[in-house]
Amino acid sequence: MPLRVDRRNWTLLETSPLRRLPRPVYFRAYAIAAGSCVQAHKHAWWQFLFAREGMMQVQAGDINFTLPPDYGMWIPPRCAHTLWVGEDVELESLYIERSAISMPDTGVRVVRVDEFVRAFLHHGCTAIPTRYDLEGADGRKVGVLLDLVQTLPDAPFHLPFPTEPRLLRVCLAIQAAPQLPHTVDDACALALMSSRSFSRHFVKATGLPYHTWRQRMRLLGSLEMLRAGASVTDVALTIGYATPSAYIYAFKQLFGTPPSRFTHG
Protein backbone atom coordinates (compact mmCIF):
# COMPACT_ATOMS: atom_id res chain seq x y z
CA MET A 1 0.00 0.00 0.00
CA PRO A 2 1.66 3.31 -1.02
CA LEU A 3 2.37 5.60 1.88
CA ARG A 4 -0.02 8.51 2.21
CA VAL A 5 2.51 10.91 3.69
CA ASP A 6 4.29 13.97 2.35
CA ARG A 7 7.98 13.06 2.56
CA ARG A 8 9.25 16.61 2.18
CA ASN A 9 11.16 18.05 5.13
CA TRP A 10 10.91 14.91 7.27
CA THR A 11 13.62 14.41 9.90
CA LEU A 12 15.30 11.04 9.39
CA LEU A 13 16.04 9.14 12.59
CA GLU A 14 18.10 6.01 13.15
CA THR A 15 16.95 3.22 15.42
CA SER A 16 18.56 2.05 18.67
CA PRO A 17 22.08 0.57 18.33
CA LEU A 18 21.06 -2.18 20.77
CA ARG A 19 22.43 -5.55 19.66
CA ARG A 20 21.56 -7.69 22.67
CA LEU A 21 18.68 -7.49 25.10
CA PRO A 22 19.64 -7.13 28.78
CA ARG A 23 16.62 -9.27 29.71
CA PRO A 24 14.24 -11.51 27.70
CA VAL A 25 11.77 -8.60 27.67
CA TYR A 26 13.10 -5.07 27.25
CA PHE A 27 10.91 -1.99 27.72
CA ARG A 28 11.68 0.67 25.11
CA ALA A 29 9.96 4.00 25.74
CA TYR A 30 10.79 7.29 24.03
CA ALA A 31 9.23 10.25 22.26
CA ILE A 32 9.28 10.88 18.51
CA ALA A 33 8.52 14.39 17.27
CA ALA A 34 6.00 15.08 14.52
CA GLY A 35 7.57 15.09 11.08
CA SER A 36 10.04 12.30 11.85
CA CYS A 37 10.82 9.11 9.98
CA VAL A 38 12.54 6.21 11.74
CA GLN A 39 14.44 4.68 8.86
CA ALA A 40 14.03 1.07 7.77
CA HIS A 41 15.54 -1.34 10.27
CA LYS A 42 15.02 -4.80 11.74
CA HIS A 43 15.73 -6.66 14.96
CA ALA A 44 16.79 -10.17 15.92
CA TRP A 45 13.84 -10.26 18.34
CA TRP A 46 10.09 -9.70 18.33
CA GLN A 47 8.83 -6.15 18.77
CA PHE A 48 5.45 -5.20 20.19
CA LEU A 49 5.14 -1.68 18.83
CA PHE A 50 2.76 0.58 20.77
CA ALA A 51 2.27 4.33 20.96
CA ARG A 52 0.67 5.58 24.15
CA GLU A 53 -0.02 8.86 22.38
CA GLY A 54 -0.06 9.76 18.69
CA MET A 55 -0.67 8.02 15.38
CA MET A 56 1.95 6.53 13.05
CA GLN A 57 2.19 4.99 9.64
CA VAL A 58 4.26 1.83 9.68
CA GLN A 59 5.70 0.14 6.64
CA ALA A 60 6.53 -3.46 7.55
CA GLY A 61 7.81 -5.60 4.71
CA ASP A 62 5.69 -4.71 1.69
CA ILE A 63 2.58 -3.76 3.70
CA ASN A 64 1.72 -0.37 5.21
CA PHE A 65 -0.45 0.21 8.24
CA THR A 66 -2.01 3.21 9.93
CA LEU A 67 -1.49 2.65 13.66
CA PRO A 68 -3.61 4.90 15.92
CA PRO A 69 -3.36 5.12 19.71
CA ASP A 70 -4.79 2.09 21.56
CA TYR A 71 -3.55 -0.29 18.86
CA GLY A 72 -0.34 -2.29 18.94
CA MET A 73 1.62 -4.11 16.26
CA TRP A 74 3.49 -7.40 16.45
CA ILE A 75 6.60 -7.20 14.24
CA PRO A 76 8.39 -10.55 13.80
CA PRO A 77 12.17 -10.94 14.07
CA ARG A 78 14.10 -9.83 10.97
CA CYS A 79 11.10 -7.99 9.51
CA ALA A 80 12.27 -4.63 8.11
CA HIS A 81 10.03 -1.75 9.17
CA THR A 82 9.88 2.04 8.83
CA LEU A 83 7.92 4.52 10.98
CA TRP A 84 6.42 7.73 9.58
CA VAL A 85 5.28 10.01 12.40
CA GLY A 86 2.93 12.85 11.44
CA GLU A 87 2.17 13.94 15.02
CA ASP A 88 4.04 13.78 18.33
CA VAL A 89 4.22 10.16 19.47
CA GLU A 90 5.02 8.58 22.84
CA LEU A 91 6.25 5.06 22.19
CA GLU A 92 6.02 2.36 24.87
CA SER A 93 7.17 -0.77 23.08
CA LEU A 94 8.45 -4.20 24.04
CA TYR A 95 11.47 -6.00 22.60
CA ILE A 96 11.03 -9.73 23.24
CA GLU A 97 13.47 -12.59 22.76
CA ARG A 98 12.23 -15.35 20.47
CA SER A 99 12.50 -17.89 23.28
CA ALA A 100 10.30 -15.83 25.63
CA ILE A 101 7.08 -16.31 23.64
CA SER A 102 5.53 -19.08 21.60
CA MET A 103 3.77 -17.04 18.91
CA PRO A 104 4.15 -18.34 15.35
CA ASP A 105 6.22 -16.12 13.09
CA THR A 106 3.49 -15.68 10.47
CA GLY A 107 3.84 -11.99 9.73
CA VAL A 108 2.83 -8.60 11.09
CA ARG A 109 -0.34 -8.36 13.19
CA VAL A 110 -2.22 -5.32 14.50
CA VAL A 111 -4.15 -5.79 17.76
CA ARG A 112 -6.46 -3.74 19.97
CA VAL A 113 -4.87 -2.76 23.30
CA ASP A 114 -7.36 -2.57 26.16
CA GLU A 115 -7.12 -0.14 29.06
CA PHE A 116 -5.66 -2.70 31.46
CA VAL A 117 -2.81 -3.70 29.12
CA ARG A 118 -2.23 -0.04 28.27
CA ALA A 119 -1.77 0.75 31.98
CA PHE A 120 0.38 -2.36 32.48
CA LEU A 121 2.68 -1.36 29.59
CA HIS A 122 3.06 2.12 31.07
CA HIS A 123 3.89 0.64 34.47
CA GLY A 124 6.51 -1.60 32.88
CA CYS A 125 8.11 1.29 31.00
CA THR A 126 8.21 3.61 34.02
CA ALA A 127 8.59 1.35 37.07
CA ILE A 128 10.29 -1.92 36.09
CA PRO A 129 14.10 -1.58 35.91
CA THR A 130 16.02 -2.56 32.79
CA ARG A 131 17.81 -5.41 34.59
CA TYR A 132 14.86 -6.65 36.60
CA ASP A 133 15.10 -9.78 38.76
CA LEU A 134 13.86 -12.63 36.57
CA GLU A 135 12.81 -14.63 39.64
CA GLY A 136 11.41 -11.71 41.64
CA ALA A 137 8.19 -9.69 41.62
CA ASP A 138 9.18 -7.72 38.51
CA GLY A 139 9.94 -10.91 36.62
CA ARG A 140 6.52 -12.28 37.53
CA LYS A 141 4.88 -9.06 36.35
CA VAL A 142 6.66 -9.33 33.03
CA GLY A 143 5.43 -12.90 32.65
CA VAL A 144 1.83 -11.81 33.19
CA LEU A 145 2.22 -8.94 30.74
CA LEU A 146 3.54 -11.31 28.09
CA ASP A 147 0.52 -13.56 28.56
CA LEU A 148 -1.80 -10.57 28.17
CA VAL A 149 -0.27 -9.03 25.05
CA GLN A 150 -0.22 -12.40 23.27
CA THR A 151 -3.98 -12.76 23.69
CA LEU A 152 -5.01 -9.28 22.49
CA PRO A 153 -7.61 -9.45 19.69
CA ASP A 154 -6.68 -8.76 16.08
CA ALA A 155 -7.75 -5.41 14.63
CA PRO A 156 -9.00 -4.87 11.03
CA PHE A 157 -6.08 -2.68 9.94
CA HIS A 158 -4.63 -5.05 7.37
CA LEU A 159 -5.39 -3.90 3.84
CA PRO A 160 -3.50 -5.98 1.26
CA PHE A 161 -2.89 -4.37 -2.11
CA PRO A 162 -2.86 -6.68 -5.16
CA THR A 163 0.27 -6.89 -7.27
CA GLU A 164 -1.56 -7.69 -10.52
CA PRO A 165 -1.38 -4.41 -12.50
CA ARG A 166 -5.05 -4.27 -13.52
CA LEU A 167 -6.30 -4.89 -10.00
CA LEU A 168 -3.74 -2.50 -8.51
CA ARG A 169 -4.95 0.21 -10.91
CA VAL A 170 -8.44 -0.12 -9.42
CA CYS A 171 -7.17 0.07 -5.83
CA LEU A 172 -5.03 3.13 -6.50
CA ALA A 173 -8.03 4.84 -8.10
CA ILE A 174 -10.03 4.33 -4.89
CA GLN A 175 -7.17 5.63 -2.78
CA ALA A 176 -6.80 8.71 -4.98
CA ALA A 177 -10.51 9.61 -4.98
CA PRO A 178 -12.36 7.83 -2.14
CA GLN A 179 -15.38 10.11 -2.51
CA LEU A 180 -16.32 8.60 -5.90
CA PRO A 181 -18.71 5.60 -6.04
CA HIS A 182 -16.17 3.14 -7.50
CA THR A 183 -18.89 0.61 -8.28
CA VAL A 184 -18.09 -2.92 -9.37
CA ASP A 185 -18.98 -1.91 -12.93
CA ASP A 186 -16.52 1.00 -12.69
CA ALA A 187 -13.82 -1.33 -11.38
CA CYS A 188 -14.41 -3.92 -14.11
CA ALA A 189 -14.23 -1.27 -16.79
CA LEU A 190 -10.97 0.08 -15.39
CA ALA A 191 -9.48 -3.40 -15.08
CA LEU A 192 -10.78 -4.50 -18.50
CA MET A 193 -12.27 -7.63 -16.94
CA SER A 194 -15.71 -9.21 -16.72
CA SER A 195 -17.58 -8.92 -13.43
CA ARG A 196 -17.20 -12.60 -12.63
CA SER A 197 -13.50 -12.68 -13.48
CA PHE A 198 -12.79 -9.45 -11.60
CA SER A 199 -14.54 -10.62 -8.43
CA ARG A 200 -12.76 -13.98 -8.46
CA HIS A 201 -9.31 -12.52 -9.07
CA PHE A 202 -9.78 -9.70 -6.54
CA VAL A 203 -10.66 -12.06 -3.68
CA LYS A 204 -7.76 -14.34 -4.59
CA ALA A 205 -5.31 -11.40 -4.65
CA THR A 206 -6.44 -9.61 -1.47
CA GLY A 207 -8.43 -12.09 0.59
CA LEU A 208 -11.35 -9.64 0.64
CA PRO A 209 -14.42 -9.07 -1.55
CA TYR A 210 -14.17 -5.88 -3.58
CA HIS A 211 -16.88 -3.97 -1.68
CA THR A 212 -15.26 -4.88 1.67
CA TRP A 213 -11.84 -3.76 0.46
CA ARG A 214 -13.26 -0.48 -0.90
CA GLN A 215 -15.03 0.32 2.38
CA ARG A 216 -12.00 -0.56 4.48
CA MET A 217 -9.75 1.66 2.36
CA ARG A 218 -12.12 4.60 2.85
CA LEU A 219 -12.44 4.05 6.60
CA LEU A 220 -8.72 3.56 7.19
CA GLY A 221 -7.99 6.71 5.20
CA SER A 222 -10.49 8.63 7.30
CA LEU A 223 -8.39 8.05 10.44
CA GLU A 224 -5.75 10.48 9.21
CA MET A 225 -8.39 13.11 8.44
CA LEU A 226 -9.89 12.77 11.92
CA ARG A 227 -6.49 13.10 13.57
CA ALA A 228 -5.77 16.16 11.42
CA GLY A 229 -8.79 17.93 12.91
CA ALA A 230 -11.52 17.41 10.31
CA SER A 231 -15.07 17.11 11.64
CA VAL A 232 -16.92 13.80 11.41
CA THR A 233 -19.37 15.40 8.98
CA ASP A 234 -16.61 16.69 6.69
CA VAL A 235 -14.84 13.33 6.75
CA ALA A 236 -18.05 11.43 5.96
CA LEU A 237 -18.80 13.56 2.92
CA THR A 238 -15.19 13.62 1.73
CA ILE A 239 -14.88 9.83 1.59
CA GLY A 240 -18.23 9.31 -0.11
CA TYR A 241 -20.84 8.67 2.60
CA ALA A 242 -24.24 10.26 2.04
CA THR A 243 -24.71 11.14 5.72
CA PRO A 244 -22.53 11.34 8.85
CA SER A 245 -24.71 8.70 10.52
CA ALA A 246 -23.97 6.20 7.72
CA TYR A 247 -20.27 6.86 8.14
CA ILE A 248 -20.44 6.53 11.94
CA TYR A 249 -22.29 3.22 11.64
CA ALA A 250 -19.77 1.77 9.17
CA PHE A 251 -16.86 3.03 11.27
CA LYS A 252 -18.22 1.41 14.44
CA GLN A 253 -18.85 -1.84 12.58
CA LEU A 254 -15.20 -2.01 11.52
CA PHE A 255 -13.36 -0.54 14.51
CA GLY A 256 -15.80 -1.19 17.35
CA THR A 257 -15.70 2.44 18.46
CA PRO A 258 -17.08 5.76 17.11
CA PRO A 259 -14.89 8.02 14.95
CA SER A 260 -14.86 10.64 17.71
CA ARG A 261 -12.50 8.31 19.59
CA PHE A 262 -9.78 9.17 17.09
CA THR A 263 -10.10 12.95 17.11
CA HIS A 264 -7.72 15.16 19.05
CA GLY A 265 -8.95 16.53 22.34
Taking only the tens place, the pLDDT of each residue in 112-162 is 999 999 999 999 999 999 999 999 999 999 999 999 999 999 887 777 888
Check whether 227 has a pLDDT greater than 90: no
Q: Does 5 reside within a domain?
A: no
Same domain, 146 and 91: yes
Distance CA 256, CA 244 (A): 17
Same domain, 134 and 177: no
Q: What is the CATH number of the domain that holds 204?
A: 1.10.10.60
pLDDT-based confidence at residue 90 (cuts at 50, 70, 90): very high
Residue 20 has what pLDDT?
A: 93
Radius of gyration over alpha carbons of the chain, in Å?
A: 20
Q: Cα 6 to the chain's mean position, in Å? A: 18
Containing structural domain, residue 43: 11-150
Range scoring the smallest mean pLDDT among 41-50, 204-213, 221-230: 221-230
Same domain, 133 and 21: yes
Q: Judge contact between 111 and 71, C-beta under 8 A.
A: yes
Per the structure, how many domains does the chain have? Answer: 2
Residue 265 has what pLDDT?
A: 54
Domain end marker among 95, 126, 150 = 150
Q: Judge contact between 56 and 67, C-beta under 8 A.
A: yes
Residue 65 has what pLDDT?
A: 79
Q: Judge contact between 88 and 35, C-beta under 8 A.
A: no
